[in-house]
Amino acid sequence: MNIKEVKYLLDKYNLNAKKNFGQNFLVDDNILKKIASALNDKGYKSVIEVGPGLGSLTRYLVEMYDEVLCYEIDKDMIEVLNNTIEKNNLIIREGDFLKSDVSKDIGKFLKTNPCLIANLPYYITSPILLKLLEEVREVKDIVVMIQKEVAERFVARPNTKDYNALSVLIQYFTNAVKLFDVSPSAFVPAPKVTSAVIHLSYKEEELLTGKDLEFFLKFNRNIFKQRRKTFVNNVASSYNISKEEAAAILEQNGFSKTIRSEVLSVEEIVKLSLIFKEQLA
């Protein structure tokens, strides 16, 4: 869908991009094709899209996949989708994706487990991905366009300025690869930031399960709570133990008592979460 088509639809339906829904419409057909075809080699028959808007990406997805399940919160956009995409393989769920039982919908509407391909609203990028990673185990491959700054956090390595709790969480669950950047000029209206398309592929083997995983998820957030503080300071303030106790646990397990969380690898944070879970029991 190009800029003329987008403007035509907006005029025809007397619509404007709604800031409260984070609407920026992608108008570069070459980029749309690249996003839609990013997982063609994976053999998926079904796909989920979040926030299809005017259907710029949806038009390619319905041609490439047997089943397309879309979540759209804006009733005006649903009217456009229903009137302009004449394909019986498109299923539109009206409502907030974050409040939806996606696993239940997959079982009800799709014949096979789907991938997810979407241009995500920037303001709810992290909540959407966290919901997918922590709740929707049927989705193993995710290709999304997000803010470039956020994408760089997802793929950041330890001891870099972009590495934080979100980096660890994403890399614990997935193999994260940034595919390409997208200029603001590719959108109407143009956002103030550069975008990036990222591929997250779910790791088959989880290191943790049950209570261990639950503790790790909270532990990971806590150790990055105040970036300027050391690991010991963050742990002590989060778990009501003394700095001396936290430092002793680190040194007993081969870590420096002055270490900062941003230098730790995902595997080291997993190891430390298990150690502190046992020590705090």
Q: What's the confidence (pLDDT) of residue 146?
A: 95
Please state, for a pLDDT cut of 90, what percent of the chain lies above it. Answer: 81
Per the document, the length of the chain is 281
Given this model, what pLDDT does residue 21 score?
65
For the cut 90, the answer to whether the pLDDT of residue 2 exceeds it is no
Q: What is the pTM of this model?
A: 0.90
Indicate whether 20 pLDDT > 70.
no
Cβ pair 210, 180 in contact under 8 A: no
Structure tokens at 11: 């005029």
Domains and CATH numbers, the chain: 3-202 (3.40.50.150), 210-280 (1.10.8.100)
Alpha-carbon dihedral 206, 212, 214, 216, rounded to 10 degrees: -80
Phi, psi of 214 (to 5 degrees): -60, -45
Q: Quote the CA–CA distance of 267 and 280 in Å, as a whole number.
A: 20
pLDDT digits (tens, 9 = 90+) for 84-119: 998 999 999 999 999 999 999 999 999 999 999 999
Task: Write out pLDDT tens, residues 49-71.
Answer: 999 999 999 999 999 999 999 99
Amino acid symbol at 92: I
b/e for 22-58, b at 16 or more Cβ within 10 A?
Answer: bbbbbbbeebbebbbebbeeeebebbbbbbbbbbbbb
- What digits encode the pLDDT tens for the residues 184-228? 999 988 888 999 999 999 998 878 999 999 999 999 999 999 988
The pLDDT of residue 273: 97
